[in-house]
Amino acid sequence: DTAVSQTPKYLVTQMGNDKSIKCEQNLGHDTMYWYKQDSKKFLKIMFSYNNKELIINETVPNRFSPKSPDKAHLNLHINSLELGDSAVYFCASRNDGSVYGYTFGSGTRLTVV
């Protein structure tokens, strides 16, 4: 019955590798987001998709590429991982009719070694 689920929960990988994080929401929401939370707990938006269309694309390295195969899924692929990519990545979703109703997943803790 998880509303926004992310996989994997933990990811440890070496520099230079390519990895993907997957997100699924079963709330019927229209918009999905990727946020990055650094070690100081600062949460910053990376991307947003509305019904499979990219609507927010913050200043993020080209190594990060989101993909939304359908309204319920938003994946994040990262190429050539760097040490600075280590963070917790949160997926979130929101119904367009709700200004405040953001639902977050539990996060994917990425560690690049």
Partner 1 sequence: QKEVEQDPGPLSVPEGAIVSLNCTYSNSAFQYFMWYRQYSRKGPELLMYTYSSGNKEDGRFTAQVDKSSKYISLFIRDSQPSDSATYLCAMKGNTGKLIFGQGTTLQVKP
Residues near partner 1 (CB under 8 A) are: 4, 33, 40-45, 48, 55-56, 90, 92, 99-102, 104-107
Which CB atom, from 72 or from 107, has the smaller least distance to partner 1?
Answer: 107
Min separation Cβ 80 and partner 1, Å: 27
Min separation Cβ 112 and partner 1, Å: 19
- The residues, any chain, with a CB within 8 Å of residue 81's CB and separated by 6 or more, are 13, 14, 15, 16, 17, 18, 19, 63, 112
What is the rounded CA–CA span in Å between residue 44 and residue 90?
10
Min separation Cβ 48 and partner 1, Å: 7
Other Cβ atoms within 10 Å of 40 Cβ, number: 5
Query: How open is the CA angle 25-97-69, to the nearest 5 degrees?
Result: 35
Min separation Cβ 61 and partner 1, Å: 19
Which CB atom, from 18 or from 55, has the smaller least distance to partner 1?
Answer: 55
Which CB atom, from 14 or from 40, has the smaller least distance to partner 1?
Answer: 40
Which CB atom, from 33 or from 64, has the smaller least distance to partner 1?
Answer: 33
**Closest by Cα among 91, 86, 92 to 109:** 86
